[in-house]
């Protein structure tokens, strides 16, 4: 992409209404625009990151065998009357009527709808286990939408639902989600710690939230510092093997890590004092096992091996896709701007032309641009007629992991500069070698 042909409305001034750094940087980098409280347009740069995050979520869901579908944003109120949640959900639910005065709502989550799909089409235990998921916009009329996409009213969520014959199978699905979530967040350059949590209006017995530690997080968390040494890494875990998934859950819950809702000071105080941490965290996902809470009232049953009908055991599992942009920036920025982890960056590399209009420099940049794209890298080429300082400031603000700087002086000796956004380290090398390094 050539910057002169792109749409990147960066802001020079710090937006006054943004209280936290990720919100400020997303506005300044021209990623989002607020259209109403908690409702945002995703401008091209923000949209690219959103799509990359979404793609990682899809890949990791499908890696463990979960099946994508797409449910609508609008849902009939009657479905929610069946589960008893229509009244219970309260003011966070956006309710509306169509022209025939039929009651609809903008879905805050999809347990009822997926249960309806299941009961209409699945009859036998032989069709289990089954896990369906989608990535779809949700609406929750939050009392205090704030911090940009971190607490929006309209937000993008991945929500998945498992259907199993037994509690044991459903707990395997729970553990499998934990495994896939650990991998998902690490691919985005994030450490998200599973913490014992409270199930809230979704209901149920077992639940963990995934939290990214950050001072601006809205949750208070308590943990044993040893938990932060655990990483999932590139291990392979067979998603179909209950023992293998259980082992990962056991490992990642082997140290104290809880949100304030489940915090137990008596247990916490048994941890050696030097390892006790009280901090703040951003909830980027949550997994639940809730058994037959929805299948029973809604009649989602299967014929079991002995010929009798039984309600299925279910769980639901969410990832805050749009919130993740905020969480990643909170975890990865400096005073100049965003520092994108390679897995989610909007472009892999930026090219800065130090002397636009100088034919040797222009053609060297064009050649670099073509060579990098030919290697499958996405490139943002700053071909504006601007001074170098302004170009560097833009690149630092939008946070691409790599920058290639080309100007007449270096090119006279066939060199350009390759700079890492994260470390600031710069190497001088031939343009062809810069391409090799990045490819």
The residue ranges that bind Mg ion (CB under 5 A) are 283, 286
In 3-state terms, what secondary structure has residue 418?
strand
**Alpha-helical regions (H) of 312-417:** 321-331, 359-374, 388-398, 408-411
Whether 353 contacts 362, CB under 8 Å:
yes
Peptide bond into 129 cis (omega under 30): yes
Closest CB 158 distance from ligand ATP, rounded Å: 8
Kindly state the tokens that stand for 271.
């941890």
Binding track over 150-189 against ligand ATP, x by CB under 6 A: -xx--x-x--------------------------------
Give the sign of the dihedral formed by CA 427, CA 190, CA 178, CA 107.
negative
> What residue number has its CB nearest to ligand ATP?
320
User: CA 190 to CA 431: how far, in whole Å?
Assistant: 32
41 neighbors 149 (Cβ within 8 angstroms): no
Cα distance between residue 20 and residue 217, in whole Å: 10
With CB under 6 A as the contact rule, the residue among 23, 85, 140, 403 that binds ligand ATP is 140
**Closest to Mg ion by CB, 286 or 295:** 286
Q: Which stretch binds ligand ATP (CB under 6 A): 294-302, 316-324, 330-338, 393-401?
A: 316-324
Single out the residue of 115, 286, 295, 353 in contact with ligand ATP (rule: CB under 6 A).
Answer: 286
Please state whether beta strands 301-303 and 309-311 pair in parallel, antiparallel, or not at all (unpaired): antiparallel
Contact 282, 216 (CB under 8 A): yes
Q: Would you count residue 208 as binding ligand ATP (CB under 6 A)?
A: no
The option from ligand ATP, Mg ion, none interacting with 350 (CB < 5 to 8 A, set by class) reads none
Report the nearest approach of ligand ATP to the CB of residue 278 (Å).
Answer: 18
Minimum CB distance to ligand ATP, residue 108 (Å): 8
Angstrom distance (rounded) from CA 220 to CA 182: 21
Cα 196 to Cα 33, 258, 260, 279: the distances in Å are 35, 5, 10, 15
Rounded-to-integer distance, Cα 71 and Cα 81, Å:
18
**How far is it between the farthest Cα atoms of the chain?**
82
Of 142, 224, 261, 296, the residue at the interface with ligand ATP (CB under 6 A) is 142
- In the numeric block, which tokens belong to residue 105? 């709502």
**Closer CB to ligand ATP, 260 or 334, in the complex:** 260
Whichever of 288 and 392 has its CB closer to ligand ATP, that residue is 288
32 binds, among Mg ion, ligand ATP, none (CB under 5 to 8 A by kind): none
Query: Whole-number minimum distance, CB 64 to ligand ATP, in Å?
Result: 18
CB of residue 366 to Mg ion, shortest distance in Å: 49
320 is a site residue for ligand ATP (CB under 6 A): yes
Residue 284 CB, nearest approach to ligand ATP (Å): 5
Nearest-approach distance from CB 152 to ligand ATP, in angstroms? 4
Residue ranges binding ligand ATP (CB under 6 A): 109, 140, 142, 151-152, 155, 157, 200, 283-286, 318, 320, 322-323
């Amino acid at each position: 992409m050539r910057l002169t042909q792109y749409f990147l409305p960066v802001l020079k001034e710090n937006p006054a209404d943004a209280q936290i750094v990720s919100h400020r940087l997303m506005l300044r980098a021209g990623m989002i625009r607020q259209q109403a409280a908690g409702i945002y347009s995703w401008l091209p740069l923000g949209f690219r990151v959103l799509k990359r995050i979404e793609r990682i979520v899809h890949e990791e869901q499908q890696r463990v065998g979960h099946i994508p579908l797409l449910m609508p944003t609008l849902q009939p109120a009657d479905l929610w009357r069946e589960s008893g949640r229509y009244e219970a959900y309260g003011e966070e639910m956006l309710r509306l009527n169509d022209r025939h005065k039929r009651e609809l709502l903008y879905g805050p989550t999809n347990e009822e709808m997926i249960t309806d799909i299941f009961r209409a089409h699945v009859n036998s235990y032989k069709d289990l286990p089954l896990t369906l998921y989608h990535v779809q916009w949700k609406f929750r009329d939050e009392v205090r939408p704030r911090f940009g996409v971190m607490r929006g009213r309209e937000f993008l969520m991945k929500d998945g639902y498992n259907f199993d014959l037994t509690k044991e199978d459903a707990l395997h699905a729970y553990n499998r989600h934990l495994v896939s979530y650990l991998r998902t967040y690490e691919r985005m350059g994030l450490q998200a710690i599973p913490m014992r949590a409270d199930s809230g209006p979704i209901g149920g017995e077992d639940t963990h939230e995934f939290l990214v530690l950050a001072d601006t997080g809205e949750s208070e968390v308590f943990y044993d510092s040893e938990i932060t040494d655990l990483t999932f890494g590139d291990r392979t875990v067979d998603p179909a093997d209950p023992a293998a998934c259980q082992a990962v859950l056991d490992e990642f819950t082997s140290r104290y890590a809880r949100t304030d809702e489940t915090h137990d000071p008596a247990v916490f105080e048994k941890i050696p004092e030097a390892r006790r941490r009280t901090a703040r965290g951003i909830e980027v996902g949550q997994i639940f096992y809730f058994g037959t809470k929805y299948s029973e009232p809604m009649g989602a049953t299967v014929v079991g091996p002995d010929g009798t009908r039984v309600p299925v055991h279910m769980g639901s599992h969410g990832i805050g896709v749009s919130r993740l942009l905020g969480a990643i920036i909170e975890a990865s920025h400096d005073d100049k701007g965003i520092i994108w982890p390679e897995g989610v960056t909007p472009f892999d590399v930026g090219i800065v032309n130090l002397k636009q209009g100088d034919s040797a420099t222009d053609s060297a940049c064009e050649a670099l641009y073509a060579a990098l794209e030919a290697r499958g890298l996405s490139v943002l080429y700053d071909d504006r007629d601007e001074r170098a300082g302004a170009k560097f400031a833009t690149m630092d603000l939008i946070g691409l992991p790599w920058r290639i700087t080309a100007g007449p002086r270096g090119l006279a000796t066939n060199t350009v500069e390759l700079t890492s956004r994260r470390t600031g380290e710069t190497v001088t090398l031939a343009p062809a070698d810069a391409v090799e390094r990045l490819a």
